Amino acid sequence: MAEKIVIRAASIERAVLRIRGRNVMLDDDLAALYEVQVRALNQAVKRNRQRFPPDFMFRLTAAETNGLRSQTVIAKTGSGGRRTAPYVFTEQGVAMLSTVLRSERAVRVNIEIMRAFVRLRRILGANEELSRKLDALEQKYDTQFKAVFQAIRELMAPPHSPRRAIGFRDATRSTLDDQ
């Protein structure tokens, strides 16, 4: 009997990153979803290199890797992290992975990942469509509704909340600094 594989779509969508203008997933995240070691995933890819052209998979540059490290997506080298830059896979690369991993889990996980990519594309497309319609309305009724359009654009933008400082304040220290 085939095992039932449960993967939350939200966890897949959180693993999708935007790099070089493409939606991609890190080899580390894919290995966790497929329940294989990163080394095994990368070995399977290297054995079938002809199936992964540059538009399916590419290795991150040092700057891109450092950018992800600063976002704590990748562990630092000195703290048990990886020694090489990770590979990232585009949607087509992820589809090709299931053919080289050849497991039932790989096929089922791949289906869920494809659904997540489709959902993300729909969300991006809807947002672009809304933005185009808003631009057209703004040009048509520019002077009358300028404030309304500005308010709508602010609502469309992701919320910016100031971050509070982490830690505690020493009341005695602040009074000593004033002297």
pLDDT digits (tens, 9 = 90+) for 80-134: 566 788 889 988 888 888 788 877 777 777 777 878 778 777 777 777 777 777 7
**Where in the sequence is the domain holding 152, given as residue range(s)?**
127-156
Closest residue by Cα to residue 90 from 20, 3, 159, 160? 20
> In CATH, what number is assigned to the domain containing residue 111?
3.10.260
Residues 100, 137, single domain; the answer is no
Q: Is the pLDDT of residue 1 over 50?
A: no
Which residues are CB-neighbours of 19 under 8 A, at least 6 positions away? 60, 64, 88
Residues 59, 87, single domain; the answer is yes
Residue 169 inside a domain? The answer is: no
Residues 14, 38, single domain; the answer is yes
pTM over 0.85: no
Residue 168 inside a domain? The answer is: no
Residues 106, 150, single domain; the answer is no
Residue 72 inside a domain? The answer is: yes
Q: Is the pLDDT of residue 66 over 60?
A: yes
Total domains present in the chain: 2
